[in-house]
Amino acid sequence: MQLEDLRQSWLNSPEEAAPINPSQLDKLLASRPGVVEKMRRSARWETAFTAFLVLVSPFALFIAETLIFRIYGVIMTVMGLGLLYYYYRMLGMLSRMLVVEGNVRGHLQQLAAGLRALLRFYYRLTLALGPALMIFNLGYFVGMELARPGPFRWKFLLIMSGVLLGCGVLVQVLAVYGTRWYLQRLYGQHLDRLEANLAELEEVAN
């Protein structure tokens, strides 16, 4: 079923549009073209990369001699496991876009809104990660300084704080624009196209 056919079916029916079968829905989504499949492909690649990091990160506990790198290995493993669940949710939501549940337009609008919420969560998590790591690094240096025999080096800590703050600001700026561009390229542009077509169909139906 093409886009114009779906418009006519909604215009000619005084009641809510009747559901279409999965093959018709697949053709409809493919005519956009293939927006769902493109997002699924991106999510699969990200899932595979995250799974690789989860498998590799624990080796830092055995290879790294410095405590902070071992801690980073634990952090990356825990975050990787959390992201695997995130991508599991995303792939499930994208798969449900190809399954007809009642009204097609409302079904896709609801799933698109859920996917948009997942992307916002990922974006906010990325922005929160920079300051959290900066505070962690500063705490690590303070702890190492307290454990070191001898007088407390305030000047050294002030210099390290300035370096960490400068690097943190730079990383945060890069994270804001880089993550926004990354998510838009992998998912946002396809989701925008799908939402625009759904909004257009809703305007025609009204």
How confident is the model at residue 90, as a pLDDT? 94
* Residue 111 CB-density burial (10 A; 0-12 exposed, 13-18 middle, 19+ buried): buried
What's at 33, amino acid-wise? P
Provide the residue ranges of all domains of the chain, joining segments of one domain with +. 3-205
Nearest alpha-carbon partner for 44 in 5, 105, 87: 87
Tokens matching residue 125 = 């998590």
Exposure of 100 in the CB half-sphere (CA atoms within 13 A): 16
Q: pTM for this structure?
A: 0.77
Q: Are 38 and 78 in contact (CB under 8 A)?
A: no
- What pLDDT digit, counting tens, does each position of 99-154 carry? 766 677 777 888 889 999 999 999 999 999 988 988 888 888 888 888 878 787 88
pLDDT score of 12 more than 60: no
